[in-house]
Structure 1
């Protein structure tokens, strides 16, 4: 009877070894497919790694551009503030001018109107409106 138990245990041990061998072969094939770079998770990891590198480079470039834009904007803001201060000083200096002129308007407005009137005035009647060099030479000789 001991021989039967030994034989059954040997058969069960062999079956277990055969099952473990089949399991190892199947697992090895799955791991091989899992770790290939072209297909499977290995390929996905490689692609994701490359995308992370690209995104890191893009993010660095965007940070650099944002820093430059920030500096430019700061410079422009400072220039605008300086111009605003100058304009405020000019406006304050306009208050020092006389308030009224001969016709009751402010000085700058009256001066501007006088300039417009001079520019719009017709030329004197003795000079022709359009003349050529010949006419000008003839008149100079006479």
Structure 2
């Protein structure tokens, strides 16, 4: 992830990414407002994957319980209060999603949902590949179905 830098890395992650050949894939949980303008206003193609807030909250709660870089909550109620008020890592779910929802018609943004990807993987993979200008045929998509 772009925003997580293990102490063992000798140089900042942004410098490492800059050295990688194009096209690059950069994964991040950062809010859209925090991304460099070159990404959002340049020729980069941006895929945004939204997830149902109930599922996301549950996943975050359990993830935070085992991740030493995030607070460990004593109860679901304590976490839920922070989640609803946007006091968790990466801010408010609603603000985060709304930023990209409002840009879903931009030619360089593809707004996806996790639920649609699970429900109709074939169609969503096709959408992604066409958006990236790398269309896949049915055999290539079928080959991907065997992967987890």
TM-score normalised to structure 1 length: 0.21
Per the normalisation by structure 2, the TM-score is 0.21
Point out which structure has higher relative CO (alpha carbons under 8 A, 6+ apart).
Answer: 2
